[in-house]
Amino acid sequence: MTDKTMTAEEVVSRLHSGMTLGIGGWGSRRKPMALVRALLRSDITDLTVISYGGPDVGLLAAAGRIRKLVAAFATLDSIPLEPHFRAARQRGAFELMEVDEAMFMWGLHAAANRLPFLPVRAGLGSDVMRVNPGLQTVTSPYEDGETFVAMPALRMDAALVHLNRADRLGNGQYLGPDPYFDDLFCEAADRAYLSCERLVDGFAAAAPQTLLVNRHSVTGVVEAPNGAHFTSCVPDYGRDEPFQKLYATTPWPEFAERFLGGDEKTYQSAVQTWHEEQQ
Amino acid sequence: MSSTTTTRAEYCVIACADAWRDNGEVLASPMGLIPSIGARLAKRTFAPDLLLTDGEAMLVGLDGAAEGWLPYRRHLTMVTGGRRHVMMGASQLDRFGNQNISCIGDWQQPSRQLLGVRGAPVNTLNNPVSYWVPKHSQRVFVARVDMISGVGYDSAAAAGPSATRYHRIPRVVSDLGVLDFETPERTMRLASVHPGVTAAEVQAATGFPLTRPDEVPYTREPTASELRLIRTVIDPDGLRDREVPPA
């Protein structure tokens, strides 16, 4: 059986500029932040990012790596508006495909099912249709004859997700209350990279429904303890609210210099030092 | 009646709670503090079958104990299945009930980027959507919204039968009164004012002409039992007054 373990750097070495990249999690919850930070250390840019947006979008936007964003929102949850996403939008820094969260979900389903689109009622009558002139409608071939939006598949070159546990083969387990859409991200992508809090030898004692991601949809596995920081990864840890506040209120160059200059280990220890200073 | 006077925040709670009256076994999705108090009041009194969430992935009873699982993907199914009545916020709202939470200014390069459309398009086409506006002003109640996130009556009609089929905006509650769309043109009407507010004040704080009956009724009084529940059980710390200060 294939051992798929690799480092975050190895994941990034398989990505390149101009890619369409899906990022799992939701808002400021269970984001693959260690992988995003590794991406920030590379010179990969010109990305199309598909995300239920949180600080992943904010970080990549602040660093100027996004050419196009596909999203329904970007939020830090306890801080409703993502400051770097806002700033980037207000300076017209990237192209946006703004869709509704259900449209987004059906775009993932379409991609995972190798369909060009799926019909959705959502979008009709809203300005989502105005700002996405490429969105088409489709008429039901059955008696009802209803008209729906044909939500295009959100197919990705690669997906990044973070789960609580994984084995070396690429099976992933979530232990929190919500799977978000991480399995769909993996299935909607040509290649998917799964970081986890802890590598395990197997899932003998696991509740089967916690085994969210199956190995056939995963290319690489990275053990990244605290790898969702500062977003939440319950039950392993909650959101680091003080640090998130720091992220949201510190000018980007200052934040990047203090926390993103070195590798992941350096990041984690810089965070720890900052917390100690707050005592 | 209680010996103490009902506050503005408490009228708002009552007006929000009444949005879920006779809704049956549906999910009440309140966004904002006062709608949350209202939903819990409704469930404790006249709408016991309502479903509530913990704000994360669980359906919970009034005691917080879980009774079901509702992660985002199932929540979206509940939306499209229609067994839900959400009370959303609005950065902008127009006379046909079009709502904006996405951005202010030109969408290409907004002067103020807000949340994004989130679930407003799917909500408004699939389950009843009411709105809560804690500060009624001409900044919120505008002639035309900058980005239609939640679909209003005119936009739904223009988009056709698939858009209108399940579209319904039962009410808009603000700190000044209750508004609905019970007019032939489906434009906003002043349904009631909270005691202490005049219809003229509501009109002055609204950026488009409201339909106003000759006699605008007052928002109903809470019962003694409702007032007791709000004050001693649901919001004993008086957080409601922070969202809507006493007039």
Per-residue pLDDT of chain A (279 residues; tens, 9 = 90+): 899 999 999 999 999 999 999 999 999 999 999 999 999 999 999 999 999 999 999 999 999 999 999 999 999 999 999 999 999 999 999 999 999 999 999 999 999 999 999 999 999 999 999 999 999 999 999 999 999 999 999 999 999 999 999 999 999 999 999 999 999 999 999 999 999 999 999 999 999 999 999 999 999 999 999 999 999 999 999 999 999 999 999 999 999 999 999 999 999 999 999 999 998
pLDDT of residue A1: 82
At what angle are helices A101-112 and B72-81 packed, to 10 degrees? 110
Q: Structurally, what CATH architecture does the domain formed by B8-243 represent?
A: 3-Layer(aba) Sandwich (3.40)
Q: What is the C-alpha to C-alpha distance for residues A246 and A239, in angstroms, rounded to an integer?
A: 13
DSSP-assigned states of every residue in B72-97: HHHHHHHHHHT-EEEEE--SEE-TT-
Q: Mutating which of B122, B124, B147, B149 best tests the A interface, going by the most A Cβ atoms within 10 A? A: B122
Q: Which two tokens stand for residue A146?
A: 């209803």
Report CA torsion sign: A217, A219, A223, A226.
negative
Cβ of A125 within 8 Å of Cβ of B71? The answer is no
- Is A183 within a domain? yes
B63/chain A closest Cα distance in angstroms: 19
pLDDT of residue B76 exceeding 80, the answer is yes
For A73, the closest of B56, B118, B163 (CB atoms) is B118
Cβ of B163 within 8 Å of Cβ of A131? The answer is no
pLDDT of residue B230 exceeding 70, the answer is yes
Contacts of A102 in chain B (CB under 8 A): 76, 79-80, 119, 121-122
Q: Mutating which of B112, B113, B154, B186 best tests the A interface, going by the most A Cβ atoms within 10 A? A: B113
- Is A172 within a domain? yes
Contacts of A66 in chain B (CB under 8 A): none
B179/chain A closest Cα distance in angstroms: 22
- Is A16 within a domain? yes
Of A217, A219, A243, the closest CA to residue A230 belongs to: A243
Q: What is the C-alpha to C-alpha distance for residues B135 and A187, in angstroms, rounded to an integer?
A: 44
A126, A100 contact by CB (below 8 A): yes
Does residue A133 belong to the interface with chain B, where contact is any CB pair within 8 Å? no
Contacts of B119 in chain A (CB under 8 A): 72, 100-102
Cβ of B121 within 8 Å of Cβ of A105? The answer is no
Cβ of B71 within 8 Å of Cβ of A177? The answer is yes
Number of H helices, E strands in chain A: 10, 11
* pTM as predicted: 0.97
B123/chain A closest Cα distance in angstroms: 8
- Is A148 within a domain? no
Cβ of A100 within 8 Å of Cβ of B58? The answer is no
For A146, the closest of B108, B124, B161 (CB atoms) is B161
- Is A77 within a domain? yes
Contacts of A103 in chain B (CB under 8 A): 121-122
Cβ of A122 within 8 Å of Cβ of B121? The answer is yes
pLDDT of residue B79: 97
Q: What is the C-alpha to C-alpha distance for residues B89 and B94, in angstroms, rounded to an integer?
A: 13
For A122, the closest of B58, B107, B122 (CB atoms) is B122
B98/chain A closest Cα distance in angstroms: 9
Which residue does chain A place closest to B123, by CA atoms?
Answer: A122
For A178, the closest of B72, B160, B161 (CB atoms) is B72
Question: What CATH number did the domain enclosing A19 receive?
Answer: 3.40.1080.10
Q: What is the C-alpha to C-alpha distance for residues B99 and A172, in angstroms, rounded to an integer?
A: 40
Cβ of A126 within 8 Å of Cβ of B58? The answer is no
How confident is the prediction for chain B on average, in pLDDT? Answer: 97
Of A67, A89, A71, the closest CA to residue A18 belongs to: A67
Give the number of domains in chain A: 1
Domain boundaries, position A58: 8-116+153-199+212-239
Q: Mutating which of A126, A131, A174, A184 best tests the B interface, going by the most B Cβ atoms within 10 A? A: A126
pLDDT tens per residue across span B125-139: 999 999 999 999 999
Of A179, A170, A177, A227, the closest CA to residue A203 belongs to: A170
A265/chain B closest Cα distance in angstroms: 31
Residue owning tokens 């200052």: A254
Q: What is the C-alpha to C-alpha distance for residues B124 and B5, in angstroms, rounded to an integer?
A: 36
Q: How sure is the predictor about B4, in pLDDT bands with cuts at 50, 70 and 90?
A: low
Does residue A179 belong to the interface with chain B, where contact is any CB pair within 8 Å? yes
For A126, the closest of B56, B116, B149 (CB atoms) is B149
pLDDT of residue B2 exceeding 60, the answer is no
Q: Which ipTM value was assigned to this complex?
A: 0.96
**What residue segments make up the domains of chain B, in order of their start?**
8-243
A160/chain B closest Cα distance in angstroms: 19
Is residue A174 classed as helix, strand or coil in its secondary structure? coil
Does residue A77 belong to the interface with chain B, where contact is any CB pair within 8 Å? no
